[in-house]
Structure 1
Amino acid sequence: MKKLYIEAIAEKKIKRGIQLLDGKDFSGLELDDCLVTLYSQKSSRFLGTAYLSKQNKGVGWLISRQEVSLNETFFERLFSNAKQKRQVFQESDLTTAYRLFNQDGDQFGGFTVDLYNEYALFSWYNTYVYEMKETIVSAFQRVYPEVVGAYEKIRFKGLDFESAFLYGQEAPETFIIRENGVNYQVFLNDGLMTGIFLDQHEVRDSLVNGLALGKSVLNMFSYTAAFSVAAAMGGASETTSVDLAKRSKELSEAHFIANGFDLDNHRFVVMDVFDYYRYAKRHGLTYDVIVIDPPSFARNKKQTFSVAKDYHKLIAQALDILNPGGTIIASTNASNLSVKQFEKQLEKGFGQVKHSYSDLKQLPSDFTVNKKDESSNYLKVFTIKVNR
């Protein structure tokens, strides 16, 4: 195992409990895809074991403050601890899809594992963990013998595929999972998506249990309209789901059909959201609840969108078509944006319009987080009542 002597700024972060290693804190780093022991450049004191492997964020992860060997026994212990934390989900009949292992929240950054009924889905975020997958998967199978089959998603650059069957029994091309008593159609081996974002299940639960009752709901950046289905199950009078992707309409309708809903009061619009804001305003369309959940960054033929710079525009234009006393559910999964920074974007959008924050939801308990690192708890969802 190689030794790496690190500068003071990286040492301070490790001592604070941050596990993600930021490339900006390592000058002239040439090592990659290897296990290292970290030492203080100043005092030569041992700081912990880490691995280096570049990914979308960071150059590696601290994995222990002790010296460790990454064998099956190590990963079995991690999976056993993670499983114990999620017993309430394991015992639930209302929810059959949730996260089993969540990176640094479960003490090992670089991969996640989700459960969809009896199938597991591994997501690999860098080449080092991908090269260790045989060991990781073998340990997982020992702890989760009840999982009948698994798939994988490749979330780093370099391979010529994004999704693949991993082991065991193959899942149907599409099948139904349950969340908070609502049915959703999912798929495990078609690109990087699955048909639902599991980290939003508490937000959808609020729509099922009262927030949407008797309300007209507009769902922007709707993807497969999971928020809309939850709202319909919660008694919404009507829903409108807007997304630029053409495939979104077909996938959205599948969720509604899975719950036996008549589609007469539920619309699916393939359109840029800013174009839809203008369309709705021109045609006098207004809504009681507007859900806004954009990607952190997006680009189309007309413009680029960044949550950090442009979210306020979504709020300002939503106000033009929100009914008096209406509610905005404002969501982002941008890990580089703090709660306070996100709130600043929202306030810029509201301007002088009176409003009150009734709720802030972040990652649910199955998405365990590193409480010492704010960026680990990346999800931020404000429920905001507009008082006018």
Structure 2
Amino acid sequence: MKKVVLKHKHDKKYRDGYLVLEEADIFDMDTMNEGERFVLKASDGTDLGLFYFGRQNRGAGYKIGDNLETKLDTHFFKLLFEAAKEERESLYNSGHTNAFRVYNGEGDGLGGFTVDDYDGHFLIQWYSKGIYHYKDVIVESLQEVFDYKTLYEKLRFDKNVPTHRISEEAVEFPIIITENDLFYTINFEEGPMTGIFLDQRDVRNKIMSLDLKKPMLNLFAYSGGFSVAAAKNGLETVNVDIAKRSLELIEQNFALNEINIDKQLLYTMDVFDMLKYCARKKMLFDLIVIDPPSFSRSKKKRFSVKDNYHELIEGALPILNRGGYMVLSTNASNYSLPQFKKMIHDTLAGREYEITDVMGLPKDFKTTNSYKPSKYLKVVFVKILD
């Protein structure tokens, strides 16, 4: 069997069970094809587990397990899917939500792909060509474990993120899903995203419970999931996104939920320009949601969570009412919760504030301590007291 040998200083990480082989940790490796299994060896020659070869970002492979004889066949994947399905039994029995993740990569036993259920319409997202090599056995195993209506796939390892239908049955998009008794439009065939970020379900539910009166400002609004939750909680909303298509999606979701569009404002604008506009117009909010992409680049500005998030908070503070909330969210896996909270503390130095909630991924986005980047979502509710 093929092998990969680690640099000496990186042995401990993998002895402790780290699940993704990072290219920077490799000392020597055999020539390999995508999907090929190999043994990971410490610098002293000790076996550290069985992996499959699959390039993704800075990764070169994913751990299969400690048994070097394990085969990635239907038996292997059926066991993974059966365990994953059992863990999500409460969601399957929920009367208020029918869209959630049914398999979450490393958290459910093997990294490189995820599977989401949108009211019985399944979507596989492939993150490496390596795991895509096993598509047929994975699909066969899904068919035996899950009862779905249609099955689609997105090839995330392709920069164009093409979407294909796998099942013989098709569905006409958009479809409508239910989450916490609210409704959202979903489309698998319109770019890399689907119309909602399923990992923010608990945050949207939390927003519905806040006791607020004044309007909400939703920066990077996308399809308006946070705004729908806030509007159902009685708030007027102001929504801003640089993409015109996002405003169409927001209007559709407001209409689905019988929300009065006349009380919701929509802007196609850069968020930094919007913050300045709100300050000039003396607009004030009880709730400001800041959920930017980890990285973006425009003609005006390069943005990264690590370097620029504090600027968004600084821009939001002058237009937030006393007693109002900022919902600060990031999905940057390379930015830890302690780092994120320190940035918030440093930015709010001199202000009186309270962190009322810290949230992460919902339970269907299962994570593992053996791969900390799997806990990528960090959401901090900050109440400004002065």
**Range of TM-score over shorter length:** over 0.9
Alignment of 1:60-71 (within 5 A): 60-67=61-68, 68-71=70-73
Deviation at 1:107, TM superposition (A): 1.0
Question: Does structure 1 retain, via aligned residues, the 8 Å contact 2:330–2:378?
Answer: yes
Deviation at 1:90, TM superposition (A): 0.6
Q: 1: CA distance between counterparts of 2:194 and 2:334?
A: 24
Question: Does structure 2 retain, via aligned residues, the 8 Å contact 1:165–1:189?
Answer: no
SS of corresponding position for 2:151? strand
Say whether 1:365 aligns with 2:367: no
Partner of 1:184: 184
Which digits, 9 at most, give the CA deviation of each residue in 1:294-332, with x for residues without a partner? 000011110110001110001111001101111000000
Partner of 1:355: 353
Query: Hey, which bits of structure 1, 4+ residues long, moved more than 4 A?
Result: none
Which digits, 9 at most, give the CA deviation of each residue in 1:133-160, with x for residues without a partner? 111111011000x2011111111137x6
SS of corresponding position for 2:37? strand
Percent sequence identity is: 39
Alignment of 1:271-350 (within 5 A): 271-350=269-348
Deviation at 1:278, TM superposition (A): 0.5
Deviation at 1:41, TM superposition (A): 2.7
Alignment of 1:183-202 (within 5 A): 183-202=183-202
SS of corresponding position for 1:136? helix
Partner of 1:73: 75
Match of 1:98 among 97, 100, 103: 100
- The 10-residue stretch of structure 1 (59-68 or 174-183) with the greater mean CA deviation from structure 2: 59-68
Normalising to structure 1: TM-score of the pair? 0.95
Q: 2: CA distance between counterparts of 1:101 and 1:80?
A: 10
Deviation at 1:110, TM superposition (A): 0.3
- The 10-residue stretch of structure 1 (369-378 or 2-11) with the greater mean CA deviation from structure 2: 2-11
Which digits, 9 at most, give the CA deviation of each residue in 1:64-106, with x for residues without a partner? 1112100011000000011111001010110000000001001
Deviation at 1:288, TM superposition (A): 0.4
Q: 1: CA distance between counterparts of 2:221 and 2:352?
A: 27
Partner of 1:234: 233
Normalising to structure 2: TM-score of the pair? 0.96
SS of corresponding position for 1:320? helix
Question: Does structure 1 retain, via aligned residues, the 8 Å contact 2:161–2:192?
Answer: no
Q: 1: CA distance between counterparts of 2:369 and 2:98?
A: 26
Deviation at 1:23, TM superposition (A): 1.1
Q: Quick one: which amino acid aligns to residue 341 of structure 2? A: E
Partner of 1:384: 382
Which digits, 9 at most, give the CA deviation of each residue in 1:182-228, with x for residues without a partner? 111111122211000000000001012x2164341111011111100
Q: 2: CA distance between counterparts of 1:277 and 1:271?
A: 10
- The 10-residue stretch of structure 1 (28-37 or 266-275) with the greater mean CA deviation from structure 2: 28-37
Q: 1:168 to 1:349 in 2, by over 3 A?
A: farther
Q: 1: CA distance between counterparts of 2:195 and 2:364?
A: 19
SS of corresponding position for 1:171? coil
SS of corresponding position for 1:167? coil
RMSD: 1.4
Question: Does structure 1 retain, via aligned residues, the 8 Å contact 2:21–2:59?
Answer: yes
Deviation at 1:32, TM superposition (A): 4.7
Deviation at 1:234, TM superposition (A): 2.0
Partner of 1:40: 42
Q: How many residues align?
A: 383
Q: Quick one: which amino acid aligns to residue 242 of structure 2? A: L
Question: Does structure 1 retain, via aligned residues, the 8 Å contact 2:241–2:270?
Answer: yes
- The 10-residue stretch of structure 1 (324-333 or 210-219) with the greater mean CA deviation from structure 2: 210-219
Q: 1: CA distance between counterparts of 2:54 and 2:287?
A: 43
Q: 2: CA distance between counterparts of 1:264 and 1:113?
A: 37
Question: Does structure 2 retain, via aligned residues, the 8 Å contact 1:288–1:322?
Answer: yes
Which digits, 9 at most, give the CA deviation of each residue in 1:323-344, with x for residues without a partner? 1111000000000001111112
Match of 1:84 among 81, 86, 99: 86
Match of 2:119 among 104, 117, 120: 117
- The 10-residue stretch of structure 1 (24-33 or 216-225) with the greater mean CA deviation from structure 2: 24-33
